[in-house]
Amino acid sequence: MTCFAYDVNYKCIERIILIMNLTVSLKAITWFKEDWGCQMGDSIRFFVRYGGASTVQDSFSMGIAKEHPNNMGLTTVVSGITFYMEQDELWYINGKDLLVDYVPATDEVVFKLE
């Protein structure tokens, strides 16, 4: 993701490249394969939605959809499955790494910023 810093006259003074990583745990990958039937060639989108409970951003939470990407901003491919966030939703993770995990005790996917 590329960000720009501007002075008070809106003159670009610095270009900053942010390197972010998306990690999907082995437990989460297994869950996506078993519960969602994901297989090689599938794409899983993590998206921002208004409302819900989140430890990441107030008033917003993450959603999950099985759909093909339009403009990937953050991606990883594991076992032939593409996991991604669209470019226009990266503001939600604020330049941090995103870890997607699965908690068997509560049967839910959780999102953590590192």
Q: What is the pLDDT of residues 69-86, one digit of tens each?
A: 999 989 999 999 999 999
Please name which of 57, 55, 48, 59 lies closest in space to residue 87, comparing C-alpha atoms: 48
Cβ neighbors of 89 (< 8 A, separation 6 or more) are 47, 48, 73
Q: Examine the pLDDT at 2 and tell me if it is beyond 50.
A: no
Q: Examine the pLDDT at 64 and tell me if it is beyond 70.
A: yes
